[in-house]
Amino acid sequence: MTDEHLPDRPSGDDRRGFLKNTATVAMAGGLVAGYGSFVAIAGRFLYPAHHDNGQWQFVTTTDRLQMGHSLAFITPSGAKVVVARQGEGDEAENFIALSSVCPHLGCQVHWEAFRNRFFCPCHNGVFDPQGVAIAGPPAAAGQRLKRFALMVQDGLLFIQVPTETVAGPESETQTA
């Protein structure tokens, strides 16, 4: 056979060049994907999605909650809230709704009308009527109780609750 009838084969340099270019493209693609994922996660952390403020849910009638008294309330998402009446009028400003979970250790706080404060018995945490810590470990950490918005309409007291829930295996529903 003569060299004229042999098919053209790529030289070793052509194959090495092809492998080098393929490796370069793969490495660049990996870097772009990795840094792109990092930028996407950082963007979600720095600029979280806007969530709705929640929905209004009925708590009680204003005449059933007397001055200085409180009631326990659990939102649909499971948040424990204490609603207290701090004034005589029937406007929303005379009521307050605060998380009844102490931000220090997660214990249950309660309203003490005779002392005009919220109290956590686990570690003697004391919160003023607005939920700001004034004594105990929560005060040392500068913590406060989470506040919920209230609205009064036609003698009915409503609380604004988050519409998002924490999903878990026991809270999932199946559709058929």
Domain count, the chain: 2
Which residue range forms the structural domain that includes residue 40?
12-46
CA 31 to chain centroid, in Å, comes to 32
What pLDDT is recorded for position 12? 63
Q: Are residues 138 and 110 in the same domain?
A: yes
Give the span between the Cα atoms of 163 and 138, in whole angstroms.
Answer: 28
What pLDDT is recorded for position 116? 87
* Residue 175 maps to a domain: no
Q: Are residues 96 and 18 in the same domain?
A: no
Q: Are residues 91 and 16 in the same domain?
A: no
Q: Are residues 19 and 91 in the same domain?
A: no
What pLDDT is recorded for position 27? 93
> 118: closest CA among 129, 108, 107?
129
What pLDDT is recorded for position 169? 44
What pLDDT is recorded for position 105? 86
Q: Are residues 86 and 24 in the same domain?
A: no
pLDDT tens for the chain, 176 residues: list them.
555 665 666 566 788 888 889 999 999 999 999 898 888 888 888 887 766 567 899 999 999 988 888 899 988 888 889 998 988 888 999 999 999 899 988 899 988 888 888 899 988 899 998 899 999 999 999 999 999 999 999 999 999 987 765 444 444 444 43
* Residue 7 maps to a domain: no
Q: Are residues 79 and 117 in the same domain?
A: yes
Sheet with 80-85, side-by-side order of all strands = 70-74, 80-85, 95-99, 147-148
Give the span between the Cα atoms of 60 and 51, in whole angstroms.
Answer: 27
- In this structure, is the dihedral angle defined by the CA atoms of residues 36, 37, 40 and 42, taken in order, positive or negative? negative
Count of alpha carbons within 13 Å of 13, Cβ hemisphere only?
0
Which residues partner with 157 through β-bridges? 60, 152
Length of the chain: 176
With b meaning 16 or more CB within 10 Å and e meaning fewer, what string describes 60-70? bebeebeeeeb
CA 94 to chain centroid, in Å, comes to 27
What pLDDT is recorded for position 87? 87
Q: Are residues 74 and 134 in the same domain?
A: yes
Q: Are residues 68 and 138 in the same domain?
A: yes
> 129: closest CA among 142, 143, 115?
115
Q: What is the CATH number of the domain that holds 141?
A: 2.102.10.10
Q: Are residues 106 and 141 in the same domain?
A: yes
